[in-house]
Chains A and B, each alone.
Chain A
């Protein structure tokens, strides 16, 4: 990067577009200076625009702010960047400052957005509305507030929700869960289909790593994501027995061959088919589906579900040639396929390599499950079955054996219970069905007589993995036992089904195809490989993810684009589930999980019928309602569909910009006091204790409710208390200073309150009434004249009654000084303003000093307002000492005069 030639130059950088920053920008702009305004929020206007009316003249805050906001946005000499932050400001030896700033992603192209708010209506996620100080909810896609400038939508994204981040198939569970929550079931299904096909399959047979990642898991248990998926998938397929769509009309012209119709091949076929490629899937078996069709028993995955999922793929015009075993890649390429995807999966047949393995009655699990799924089940009735292996296939084999009428099924594996590759709940369900699981045994030999199995001799396994966690079992050959059995099923691992291509593409030593892990390109150009053939045995979702990845790079390959440099996976960083859980523990209502109904074990083993029931609509929505919206935006993409301007861009990412400025104006405002810091007042615990900013919102013309109501029951309050100096003049909370505005804003609120509720009693508890500005004392007298009661006395604590009224304990100074209690039905904590020390961190080279209270220090407030310890850096308004609006405006004008003089001086030097 060449720091000497940055993008742009400005005379002034104004940091913060609150009322002070705007005033300064406009004044300097009017003088002809080039001004850059950087605001972190999505709109200019700062805090003032959120107020109702402003003291002492009771002007409407909006009416005063909006023209300034519009002017900042339209001034020929002012460039205002919203949703942007300054990273650092460094003085340059030759004068001026080098500024790095970040344009935060809003996920909406501001140039295209018309502010129509259709995205907001379509959005399925509600979060507390910070512009209403959390009194109400807003959508993740939203326009900050009605008068926002610029009036552009933004989408709040905290990151990838853990469920969506985790899914190897790139499915966005948060998205469809939020759609189900909104009752948009078909949309939920379609959203899933956009992310990955095989929705029905996954709703039955996915091991759901998303649920493992779910933030709710740390609370009452994860959201039943797969259960929700099953609900929406069943519902959709019941309504749509055949696909809703046909082949895409726009054809790409290129042909792609996919070898293998398992989940990976099908996923690739689906993506490429949708994109308009001519896709042919070659399948050696007589029916498509691979492991889904031939491996997983139907009590877990009914075959009609597989068939319906397949229809979603073939409807795109994807051809599946079954009974066609591909052996030559060159032949495919010769036949006009521009690209090939090898997704041949696994085969079984890994041998125990012990004596007796070839006895009759010894089954390889993969062959056995294949026969079962081919409707040629072996006769196990009344037999004693031994299953060897601790993985999913072993469990499937054992449970299927129970369903085939075996008298007993015993499973032996090398691993301890905790080490077993099978999922704990599978093992548990198998045990419920009568499978006996015995851990830490290896097979010494298969015992038999007359070429028939009689049992196995087992050897104690002492450890399975070595220090590097490689599979290297060790045995104690002195500990052995023999177990009787008429059937032995070995399920000790799968091998990649790649033998036919060993001489055509480069393989790894373990037989998997060697690929570039990002692009899945093999050693042969145009041939890609993925799924279990590459990864070894993995989950269905992993295979689907590989298929999608391959499709992404195959498309690039076919378009003649380089494979390097593209990025298939551009997820936002994962939101930390523990943080979300901790927040939920504080704020959210506990919600127990909704169990998925299952048939009793004894009934389950009588047939291959599915044993899991589907959630009812109510259960599904209740389940979905448990979602904590970790990433805020759920990526359901309803906004994308709703936006008529095509402005939504969920792939938008932060950008950095570098500018050179001659001077800097820090107008970073204040930090509102968090009333939670004053626990005795009950904010956050008692519904009817609110803070001053919330009261202002309730009274504002753009108020969230159309009346003054108290939160607990929506009733109009009749006896309201204001507690002044909440968080001010209070050593206890670390702020000794007076916040300067609270007396006045409370009186203003009291007046407005009486305007809405003329019969209400309003009491203001105060230490001193600081009505010091022009017209303020008169305002105080006017407030008294309206009948507001002023009580001198410090409030010590607030208690809540059963009917959510509040008992205010205070020291009644005028009444003799004793502790007194008064009952109110709404308490407003007149919270103060604290310094915002953020600006101090922006100068990596230091030099900007703070004062004793952590405000930016003015070096000479008497004669040089706004001047800081750093030459060329000025401070405006509340960034140096909290101020009310009139004083902020005057101070900001004054700082502007100083800046102008500085620029003039610097200009003369140059």
Chain B
């Protein structure tokens, strides 16, 4: 017993926990702990009403620590810290105990065991809280400047929007010209806008603005510093190095079109093109459908090339999202060009979601013929007597084999992650299984990454069409704006601290620290280590590295961790 007054809330998570853990038993057990003066079970601890209850309890019982046994701290630490703060309690006197991901969901067939484990975890949480101390966030300045990487449609739009909000933008493009993929495209679904035109519209805006600086043939090669004040290094094609100081980084590096390997659905044969190639073809010859000077009378589209792959180990298991709608749209464009052109669509599922269904319908009405192939028996594209032959077993005709002799085969290729290794390395960007950049949470934080102040927008996060890329880029702008416009940000105080009297400067901690957050300072006669609280991420690598045990992590002190372990093993026997 430490004389602390700790409150505990056990969350049922509406059944997510209480279906597998006897929450009342957990509450009753934890109520017996020495420092616990208040304990409640709530159906949803995170609900507003439950938070109000907890706030009332903190105030009425003058609690100096609060423990919520609920879900992963990743989900709700911020929620409950804010709650503690509203109650007048230091937010770092709050501890979240994970009895969902680490307990109820993991032990769905052992209620008794899960309950026992929840009690132990809760005890450890109480033990940690009993030794907690109030911590103060460090407020640091944020610069109203951002670097946007990639000057495709998403990057251009982000730059303009950030500029609108009063954020100065460094817009960095690897290629020699801005505009990305969209600049090469003609008519786009669903509104028949021209890709080049959209890009030009944005470029005009970019050029008009004094607070946007466009760097072509330039890459971002280095990043250091902290949220709100990153040090970023750009390198031009000529090798010139440009240092920048920015508050945030917006990554809008887009995608690469899938490049089929030679022989994949006849790719490499004369008359077999990819979707982007076909789009460029149409954009270049808007009046008449010809390929290499030949009239095109019949087109066969093979869908899902490089998407929805089912081969074991394939990196492209995902759907590329835009291709069905884009192809339906193209079919209508071709139809408008020459209604007598025959168009065959060899598809798996037509995914013209939402309003794009109208494009599919229009293509159908225009005479497009749809043949459904199964992933087990894909169509074949071969050459016979100088012409192309496409064979497909059409599921809509009970699996009958259909043979088409098209003038042009369009491989409806999807999007693949852009080859971007140096940037990924420089920013330490998290990448998902599909190779696209990974957001923190697809619903809660869709444009944020685990790196504070680094945002991912557009197709760099996953396949998207133009409107979706732009929406995503503006979402990144909204988040950047919310971060930078205040002019400051409060940093987590959970950082390492060196006890100078114990330190004998051996350099072990600086070697362990990946953030360069430990400085060597003189203290009287000796030199000791000192933690730079702005750079320190509270990762803790330095703590075990110190031979003198001179370093401890605020909020996770050695004493706290020991007491947690003691609590965990208390009744393990």
- Measured CA separation A770–B349 after assembly (Å): 7
Q: Is the CB of A862 within 8 A of B198?
A: yes
- Closest CB in chain B relative to A835 CB, distance in Å: 10
Kindly state the separation between the CA atoms of A76 and B554 in the bound complex, as whole angstroms.
29
Evaluate whether A777 and B44 lie within 8 angstroms (CB atoms) in the complex, with A701-B14, A865-B470 already known. Answer: no
CB atoms of A773 and B321 under 8 A apart: yes
Bound-state Cα–Cα, A148 to B443, Å: 20
- Find residues 3-23 in chain A having any chain B CB closer than 8 Å to their own CB: none
Cβ–Cβ < 8 Å partners of A150 in chain B: 48-49
Cβ contacts A34-59/B at 8 Å (1 or 0 each) = 00000000000000000000101101
B245 within 8 A of A: no
Question: Smallest Cβ distance from B129 to chain A, in angstroms?
Answer: 21
- Expressed in whole angstroms, the minimum distance between the Cβ of A557 and any Cβ of chain B is 45
Contact B48 A74 (CB under 8 A): yes
Contact B475 A890 (CB under 8 A): yes
Q: Quick check: is A901 within 8 A (CB to CB) of the other chain?
A: yes
Q: A60-B13, A768-B349, A897-B477 are in contact. Are A777 and B319 (CB under 8 A)?
A: yes
B-contact 0/1 string along A55-78, CB 8 Å cutoff: 011011011101101110110000
- Mark interface residues in B161-198 (1 if CB within 8 Å of A CB, else 0): 10011100000000000000000000010110100001
Chain B residues lying within 8 Å of A776, measured Cβ to Cβ, are 318-319
Contact A54 B443 (CB under 8 A): yes
Q: Assess the A702–B443 pair: CB atoms within 8 A.
A: no
Please state if A769 and B349 are interface contacts (CB–CB under 8 Å).
Answer: yes
Shortest Cβ gap from B411 to chain A (Å): 18
Q: Which of B235-243, B260-268, B353-361, B512-520 contacts A (4 or more CB under 8 A)?
A: B353-361
Q: Most chain-B CB neighbours within 10 Å: which of A151, A737, A863, A897?
A: A897
Interface residues of A in 802-829 (CB under 8 A from B): 813-817
Q: Would A729 and B357 count as touching, CB distance under 8 A?
A: yes
Complex formed: what's the CA distance from A73 to B51 in Å?
Answer: 11
- List A contacts of B318 (CB < 8 A): 774-778
A881 touches B478 (CB 8 A): no
Determine, out of A25-33, A192-200, A484-492, A498-506, the stretch whose residues face the partner at the interface: A25-33
For B466, list chain A residues within 8 Å (CB): 862
Q: Give the CA-CA distance A488 to B474 in the complex, in Å.
A: 95
User: Is A897's CB under 8 angstroms from B319's CB?
Assistant: no
B471/A792 in contact, CB under 8 A: no
Interface residues of B in 333-388 (CB under 8 A from A): 349-358, 361, 372
Is there an interface contact between A73 and B482, defined as CB atoms closer than 8 Å?
Answer: no
Cα–Cα distance between A895 and B475 once the two chains are bound (Å): 8
A768–B472 alpha-carbon span in the complex (Å): 26
Interface residue B47 (Cβ < 8 Å from any Cβ of A): yes
The reply to whether B474 and A69 contact each other, CB–CB distance below 8 Å, is: no
- Interface code B444-478, partner A: CB below 8 Å = 1, 0 otherwise? 10110000000000000111001110111111111
Q: Are B355 and A737 in contact (CB under 8 A)?
A: yes
The answer on a CB contact under 8 Å between A897 and B165 is: yes
Q: A889 to chain B: which residues have CB within 8 Å?
A: 443, 446, 475
Q: Enumerate A675-730 residues with CB–CB distance to B below 8 Å.
A: 700-703, 729
In the bound complex, what is the Cα–Cα distance between A31 and B142 (angstroms)?
Answer: 14
Nearest Cβ in chain B — how far from A542, in angstroms? 47
Decide yes or no whether B562 CB sits under 8 A from chain A. Answer: no
**B86→A74 contact, CB < 8 A:** yes
Distance between Cα atoms of A284 and B85 in the complex (Å): 73
A115 to B51, CA, bound (A): 13
For residue A252, CB closer than 8 A to chain B, the reply is no
Name B428-447 residues within 8 Å CB distance of A: 434, 436, 442-444, 446-447
Q: Decide if B446 touches A738 in the complex (CB within 8 Å).
A: no
Q: In the complex, which residues of chain B have a beta carbon less than 8 angstroms from the beta carbon of A672?
A: none
Nearest chain B CB to A904's CB is how many angstroms away? 6
B100 to chain A, nearest CB (A): 9
B188 touches A862 (CB 8 A): yes
Distance in Å: Cβ of A262 to nearest Cβ of chain B: 52
Partner of A890, one of B48, B355, B398, B447: B447
- Is the beta-carbon distance between B478 and A900 smaller than 8 angstroms? yes
Task: Decide yes or no: A738 and B161 within 8 Å by CB, A897-B481, A898-B474 being known contacts.
Answer: no
Closest CB-CB distance, A754 to chain B, in whole Å? 14
- Asked if B287 is at the interface of the complex by the 8 Å CB criterion, the answer is no
Q: B98 in the interface, Cβ–Cβ < 8 Å? A: no
Q: Which residues of chain B are near A148, meaning CB under 8 Å?
A: 49
**Contact of B396 with A151 in the complex, beta carbons under 8 Å:** no
- A702: chain B residues at CB < 8 Å are 14-15, 43
The segment out of B71-79, B490-498, B544-552 that lies at the interface is B71-79
Q: Are B472 and A894 in contact (CB under 8 A)?
A: yes
B357 and A814 form a contact (CB under 8 A): no
- A64 to B46 Cα, complex, angstroms: 10
Asked if residues B44 and A893 are in contact (CB atoms below 8 Å), the reply is no
The reply to whether A886 and B446 contact each other, CB–CB distance below 8 Å, is yes
Is there a chain A Cβ closer than 8 Å to B233's Cβ?
A: no
A657 to B514, CA, bound (A): 57
Is residue B395 contacting chain A, with contact meaning CB distance below 8 A?
A: yes
A890 contacts B472, C-beta separation under 8 Å: yes
Contacts of B356 in A (CB 8 A): 738
Query: Looking at chain A, what size class is its interface with the partner chain?
Result: 35 or more
Question: Given the known A-B contacts A774-B462, A861-B191, are A900 and B165 also in contact in the complex, defined by CB atoms under 8 Å?
Answer: yes
Cα–Cα, bound, A905→B160 (Å): 13
Q: Which residues of B contact A700 (CB under 8 A)?
A: 14
With contacts A149-B49, A701-B13, A901-B164 taken as known, whether A863 is within 8 angstroms of B157 at the C-beta atoms is: yes
The answer to whether B443 touches A60, judged by C-beta atoms less than 8 angstroms apart, is no
- In the complex, A639 Cα to B93 Cα: how many Å? 40
Asked whether B461 lies within 8 Å of A701 as measured between CB atoms, the reply is no
List residues of chain B with CB within 8 A of the CB of A770: 349, 351, 353
Q: Are B482 and A31 in contact (CB under 8 A)?
A: yes
Q: What residues on B are CB-neighbors of A863 within 8 Å?
A: 157, 198, 201-202, 470
**A770-799, CB under 8 A of B: which get 1 and which 0?**
111111111001000000000010000000
Inter-subunit contact A865/B350 (CB<8 Å): no
CB of A896 closer than 8 Å to a CB of B = yes
Check A862 against B191 for contact (C-beta < 8 Å): yes
Give complex CA distance A160, B472 in Å: 50
Chain A residues within an 8 Å CB radius of B308: 777
Assess whether B191 is in contact with A777, with CB atoms less than 8 Å apart.
Answer: no
Distance in angstroms from A142 CB to nearest chain B CB is: 14
Contact A701 B478 (CB under 8 A): no
CB of A896 within 8 A of CB of B478, answer yes
Most buried by A among B166, B198, B396, B467: B467
CB of B165 within 8 A of CB of A64, answer no
Residues of B within 8 A of A775 (CB): 318, 442
A430 at the interface (CB under 8 A from B): no
Let me know if B485 is at the binding interface, CB within 8 A.
yes
B477 surroundings in chain A (CB, below 8 A): 894, 897
Q: A883 contacts the other chain (Cβ, under 8 Å)?
A: yes
**Quick one: closest B residue to A890, CB to CB?**
B475
Q: Is A736 among interface residues, defined by CB-CB distance under 8 A?
A: yes
Contacts of A862 in B (CB 8 A): 188, 191, 193, 198, 466-467, 470
Q: Could you tell me if B319 and A70 are in contact, using CB atoms closer than 8 angstroms?
A: no
> B317 an interface residue at 8 Å Cβ cutoff?
yes
Neighbouring A residues of B442 by C-beta, 8 Å: 56-57, 774-775, 886
In the complex, whether A853 has a CB less than 8 A from a CB of chain B is yes
> Closest A-chain residue to B318, C-beta based?
A777
Q: Identify which of residues 299-341 in chain B touch chain A, using a CB-to-CB cut-off of 8 Å.
A: 307-308, 310, 317-319, 321, 324
User: Once the chains are docked, how many angstroms separate the CA of A149 from the CA of B48?
Assistant: 6
- Interface CB pairs A-B, < 8 A, 5: A30-B482, A66-B46, A147-B47, A768-B350, A817-B396
Given A729-B357, A900-B164, A901-B165, 4 further pairs, Cβ under 8 A: A66-B47, A151-B49, A889-B475, A890-B446
- Taking beta carbons and an 8 Å cutoff, which residues of B are in contact with A? 13-16, 43-44, 46-49, 51-52, 71, 75-76, 79, 82, 86, 157, 161, 164-166, 188, 190-191, 193, 198, 201-202, 307-308, 310, 317-319, 321, 324, 349-358, 361, 372, 395-398, 434, 436, 442-444, 446-447, 461-463, 466-468, 470-479, 481-482, 485-486
Instruction: State the 8 A-B residue pairs at the shortest beta-carbon distance, nearest first.
Output: A893-B475, A701-B14, A151-B49, A894-B474, A901-B164, A701-B15, A774-B462, A149-B48
